[in-house]
């Protein structure tokens, strides 16, 4: 009722604060004041919500170099998230008492934040389908509609509290996971009552979880001589939250039917979010006799991919040499091949590259997009053909770039035994050149650790498949052209972006290919001398995301093959900007 408040922030301002944009400005301001530690903390705070922002990532590395050892602080950290992450880290190290301390603190913080979230939903609401003041319903409908908007906001607090700053997707199964970790941690420290209590709390959310049902039965067996296990109940706060959540869902569905709008209940407790501890926790307790109760604590199954993952298909070309498969490269969906192209083809490609590459190509003209210590240059297939057509480079050499990228595509499609066509998503001839006078005491990377179709979040041990990541990419490949440089090794890591699982030294004709998801974080070590060149290839199984320039290049090649005509006879304009 009454005039709209003058003190409500505009949508653009609210979005900027959610993305922590003010901290980007703060960082620059602190630099001008020569306050490097404050600048580093501001940069880190911004980066935690924008992990794809490579310039900020490089700034942080520079602060570490210039300011010495800095303790980075996230000024906007959600304390219950920080405590949860700390608890999981201690759990992974089998420091169970510390894990319990942090996870219990995280639960207390979670329920406190949930209360705050509920309160913050009380107030004016923004309607998605119409402006509130223009809404022409009667008074009772307007009141009911407003109340349901408030209720929907409260119902979504579960998602809000499970979502890290700057992310869209929540940590799956976030609240139940606290109890899952705790039930086993309490078992390890010998507190079977608390272990059973937490197991029963987890089962409120997933009553048919076979692993935890088996664990609960085991804990009951340990307690049967000392107390009645039926007196041990699930935690009251978990039970109350779940009851409230179910009632909210019921009210929303009834209201949707009565008021005539669509409502679909999200899956807030996705069971595929699970403890990632298959390496540190045995599937049974070795101290128990063979015929005694067993704990089934292996990692819960992840969602089945939309296609069956295979590898080991034919390489199609007799000269291509197999080097390593996924197992030998300590990962999944990885392959290393040699002799994909010959020494002569490498030299010819290098000559083409020197004639067509542009500094900062693909990065809006930024000549050093990943590190200030190297110059980045690149070119696309269509640009190569255009230059060949204009006579600025030999047309045969430009055609080679097109042909070898197609050869690489066919090999990847065949080796990974894909049942549908693999399309080009992006093709880029790239070179990284070490800048003289800037190579001493380098501790940065030529290309920071990342994944190709999701936003890598090392702190959360997650990879968020959401924009601005290229979520449609399915496979990647890098075909190397030379070895006469220092550094520049390609590396795979764990999702922590620190633990290296495989390192590959580039050389002419060598190709590394892998699936593009969070299972394959990768990067490039610093190029400290010389120039490192490669053909970078990204592929998709979705024809909607085919590379436009590739389609146009296909048309040019088809005309050349069909007509064998010179530039003046072909019905295309080489100066067209695409």
- Of the candidates 59, 62, 64, the one whose C-alpha atom is nearest the C-alpha of residue 47 is 59
Contacts of 190 (CB under 8 A, 6+ apart): none
Q: Is the peptide bond before 356 cis (omega within 30 degrees of 0)?
A: no
Query: Contact, 578 vs 553, CB < 8 A?
Result: no
- CA distances, 512 to each of 312, 498, 536 (Å): 14, 20, 10
Query: Contact, 181 vs 174, CB < 8 A?
Result: no
Residue 404's SS3 state is helix
d(CA 575, CA 471): 32
* Helical axes 236-259 vs 139-155, angle rounded to 10°: 140
245-275 burial: b if 16+ Cβ within 10 Å, else e? beebbeebeebbeeeeeeeeeeebbbbebbb
Alpha-carbon dihedral 128, 131, 135, 141, rounded to 10 degrees = 40
Burial class (CB in 10 A: 0-12, 13-18, 19+), 323: middle
Paired sense of beta strands 374-379 and 423-434, if any: antiparallel
d(CA 470, CA 459): 21
d(CA 268, CA 405): 43
Query: Contact, 307 vs 292, CB < 8 A?
Result: no
- CA distances, 391 to each of 62, 82, 358, 523, 554 (Å): 43, 59, 17, 36, 19
Burial class (CB in 10 A: 0-12, 13-18, 19+), 578: exposed
d(CA 524, CA 521): 11
* Helical axes 21-32 vs 54-66, angle rounded to 10°: 30
d(CA 431, CA 145): 58
Mark whether 442 is an active-site residue. no
Catalytic residue, chosen from 275, 334, 409, 532, is 532
- Of the candidates 99, 465, 92, the one whose C-alpha atom is nearest the C-alpha of residue 275 is 92
Residue 210's SS3 state is helix
**Residue 524, both tokens:** 């490039």
Query: Contact, 171 vs 78, CB < 8 A?
Result: no
| Residues labelled as active-site residues | 532
């Amino acid at each position: 009722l009454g005039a709209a408040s003058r003190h409500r922030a505009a949508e653009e301002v609210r979005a900027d604060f959610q993305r922590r944009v003010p901290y980007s400005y703060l960082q620059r301001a602190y630099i001008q004041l020569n306050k490097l530690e404050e600048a580093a903390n501001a940069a880190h705070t911004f980066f935690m919500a924008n992990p794809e922002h490579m310039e900020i990532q490089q700034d942080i590395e520079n602060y570490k170099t210039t300011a010495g050892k800095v303790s980075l602080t996230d000024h906007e950290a959600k304390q219950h998230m920080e405590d949860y992450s700390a608890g999981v880290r201690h759990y992974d190290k089998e420091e169970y008492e510390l894990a319990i301390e942090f996870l219990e603190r995280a639960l207390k913080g979670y329920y406190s934040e949930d209360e705050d979230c509920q309160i913050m939903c009380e107030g004016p609401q923004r309607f998605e389908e119409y402006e509130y003041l223009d809404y022409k319903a009667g008074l009772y409908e307007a009141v009911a509609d407003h109340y349901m908007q408030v209720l929907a906001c409260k119902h979504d607090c579960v998602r809000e509290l499970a979502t890290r700053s700057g992310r869209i997707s929540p940590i799956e199964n976030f609240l139940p996971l606290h109890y899952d970790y705790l039930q086993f941690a309490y078992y390890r420290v010998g507190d079977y009552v608390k272990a059973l209590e937490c197991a029963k709390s987890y089962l409120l959310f997933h009553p048919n979880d076979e692993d935890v049902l088996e664990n609960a039965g085991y804990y009951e067996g340990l307690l049967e001589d000392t107390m009645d296990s039926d007196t041990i109940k699930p935690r009251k706060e978990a039970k109350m939250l779940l009851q409230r959540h179910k009632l909210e869902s019921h009210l929303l569905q009834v209201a949707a039917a009565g008021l005539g709008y669509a409502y679909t209940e999200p899956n807030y407790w996705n069971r595929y979010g699970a403890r990632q501890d298959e390496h540190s926790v045995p599937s049974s307790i070795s101290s128990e006799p063979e015929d005694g109760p067993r704990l089934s604590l292996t990692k819960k199954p992840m969602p089945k991919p939309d296609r069956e993952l295979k590898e080991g298909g034919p390489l199609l070309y007799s000269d291509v040499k197999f080097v390593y498969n996924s197992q030998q490269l300590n990962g999944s969906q990885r392959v290393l091949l040699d002799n994909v192209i010959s020494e002569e083809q490498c030299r010819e490609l290098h000559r083409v590259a020197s004639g067509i590459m542009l500094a900062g190509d693909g990065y809006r003209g930024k000549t050093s997009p990943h590190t200030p210590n190297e110059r980045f240059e690149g070119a696309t297939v269509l640009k190569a053909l255009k230059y060949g057509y204009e006579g600025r480079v030999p047309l045969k050499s430009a055609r080679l770039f097109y042909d070898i990228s197609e050869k690489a595509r066919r090999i990847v499609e065949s080796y990974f035994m894909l049942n549908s066509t693999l399309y080009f998503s992006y093709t880029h001839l790239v070179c990284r050149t070490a800048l003289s006078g800037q190579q001493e005491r380098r501790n940065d990377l030529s290309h920071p650790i990342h994944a190709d179709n999701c936003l890598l979040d090392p702190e959360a041990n997650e990879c968020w498949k959401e924009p601005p990541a290229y979520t449609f990419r399915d496979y990647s490949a890098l075909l190397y052209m030379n070895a006469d440089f220092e550094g520049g090794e390609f590396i795979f890591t764990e999702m922590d972006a620190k633990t290296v699982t495989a390192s590959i030294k580039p050389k002419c004709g060598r190709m590394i290919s892998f699936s593009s998801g969070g299972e394959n974080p990768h990067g490039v070590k610093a190029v400290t001398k010389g120039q490192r060149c490669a053909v970078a290839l990204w592929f998709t199984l979705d024809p909607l995301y085919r590379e436009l320039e590739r389609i146009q290049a296909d048309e040019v090649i088809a005309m050349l093959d069909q007509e064998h005509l010179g530039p003046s006879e072909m019905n295309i304009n080489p100066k067209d900007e695409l």
